Chain A
């Protein structure tokens, strides 16, 4: 209450230097400038360099430099050589996203509507495992899924896989790894959406004789669509580009597009091909995202 002691005159004594509105607008630009500049220089311009790299002369090398030859054939060659890993990545990404959606929805729904006063604790529990290194966690899965491990033995006992069957070095292991690693990206946006739903609307559907299942698909699901859209995007995009799971849990047969790009850059030193593949991946993802967002009818992703 000491603040009231300040005499009122001090405030009116300051003469306004500029019209406040204009000053405030300039303030906004000054506040934005450093961060925006960083993003333009190290995110937007690099993308331009990537496109340029993808059009370099494929016969050049890192040592002698590349010539810009507008070699559009790089794209054709990249697609021709690597359409397998590209399609595989999109397929693994889609399956992993679908599984994440089911698991994530159950969890988000439980936290939002069933957890009561444990809501915050459960949210913390969702994020907590992901503070441990991504790679260390993936190595743990390698241990859990190993041949002759508990999981493989149980599955063999239940005859779900053959006596010689294994999980490591199969698509199952890679997809399981992707699901595990990207699940929080699904749960958090879903929770944000489900948590906003007015529970009375769901009760009202019950009063109007909708079964819980009908009520879910006619009320809860449509109202949670913004979360579903952003959750699926935030899961699908990193999952398609990931190569850690394919490398640690899979075999060369599960090579994803990320493995190929990484390999072309660091081992083969074939920058034009790697650049072309990156551009193709980005373009594919952009097209899919735009189509998907249009179909889902939500534009408020930001």
Chain B
């Protein structure tokens, strides 16, 4: 009883984590489902068919492909632009810092529906109303990923020990050498984290994308569409694969960090 009292908070925390994982178990389970009817979404029997034939509905696979394409492009652009901004904010003194901070913070504090409808209003006013599609989605994704990149890289940069750079300079490294051999490798985990975050934000976005997509279909839009007419179980295969890949990346990064720590100690 004493033990229960002392560990109540930890137990509560673990329960919350279990709650967060419940739908993931359902996604994994349903990826092996053999549905009896297309309209009833429940577990009817075990099969490997969904995993063996992930592209049974070709429109789903092309939507996944499009989401990956947009996600990669948006991640590259947002990560580069955001990292530059983070360096400016942490490492330089300049006028207009507050304005920049507000500009970066606001997209994270605006509801997606408002950002999406604003962009749509701009595109329509600019005469692009009939040409919504790949490029307008990409523009939107870069926009909302950018702030998250800046915040993530900035946190990493701000926590950096400047003594290390000082030491490199004392050892006659030039500014460029110091940057590429000391600063950049130290900031890199932050940049990588920001890129991962960007990709998952982009891959997962529905509300902004749906308003600015025209006839182009991304994976979340495909899921939205089939949610009304009967969901193919392959959707859960995609969900499971996404989960496994990202957990593998995060765990790999953590193991790598520990290995490096041990090497230093």
Contacts and interface: CB of A to CB of B under 8 A. Distances in A.
Contacts of A144: 22-23, 26
Contacts of B129: 62
B215 to A, nearest CB: 12
Interface residues of B, number: 93
B239 A42 contact: no
Contact of A106 (B13, B117, B210, B247): B13
Contact of B150 (A10, A35, A183): A35
B124 A271 contact: yes
Nearest to A40: B103
Contact of A278 (B10, B84, B113): B113
A132 B10 contact: no
Interface in B176-207: 200, 203-204, 206-207
A142 interface: yes
B224 to A, nearest CB: 6
Contacts of A115: 10, 13
Interface in B197-245: 200, 203-204, 206-207, 210-211, 219-220, 223-224, 227, 231, 235-236, 238-240, 242-243, 245
B108 A132 contact: no
Given A129-B24, A241-B207, A110 B9 contact: yes
A29 B94 contact: yes
B110 interface: yes
Interface stretch (A73-81, A159-167, A203-211, A231-239): A231-239
Given A3-B171, A11-B174, A126-B20, A133 B219 contact: yes
Contact of A141 (B10, B21, B23, B82): B23
Interface string B102-129: 1111111111111101111110110001
Nearest to A20: B175
A104 B89 CA distance: 30
Given A34-B84, A53-B125, A129-B20, A6 B93 contact: no
Contacts of B143: 38-39, 42-43
B166 to A, nearest CB: 14
A190 B27 CA distance: 28
B157 interface: no
B12 A106 contact: yes
B246 A131 contact: yes
A244 B227 CA distance: 11
Interface in A37-79: 38-40, 42-47, 49-50, 52-53, 62
A290 to B, nearest CB: 11
In the complex, which of the residues A146, A282, A285 has the most CB atoms of chain B within 10 Å of its own CB atom?
A282
B61 interface: no
A251 interface: no
A180 interface: yes
Nearest to B24: A129
A237 B121 CA distance: 21
A140 B30 contact: yes
B42 interface: yes
Contacts of A257: 113
Given A46-B119, A237-B111, A282-B111, A143 B146 contact: no
A53 B118 CA distance: 9
B142 A38 contact: yes
B68 interface: no
A178 interface: no
Contacts of B140: 42
Interface in A121-135: 121-122, 124-135
A257 B200 CA distance: 26
A105 to B, nearest CB: 10
Closest 9 interchain pairs by CB? A110-B13, A241-B111, A28-B92, A131-B246, A46-B118, A140-B23, A31-B88, A140-B26, A35-B81
Interface of A: 3-4, 6, 8, 10-11, 24-25, 27-29, 31-32, 34-36, 38-40, 42-47, 49-50, 52-53, 62, 103-104, 106-107, 109-111, 113-115, 120-122, 124-137, 139-144, 146, 149, 180, 183, 233-234, 237-238, 240-244, 248, 257-258, 261-262, 265-266, 271, 274-275, 278, 281-282, 285, 289, 301-302
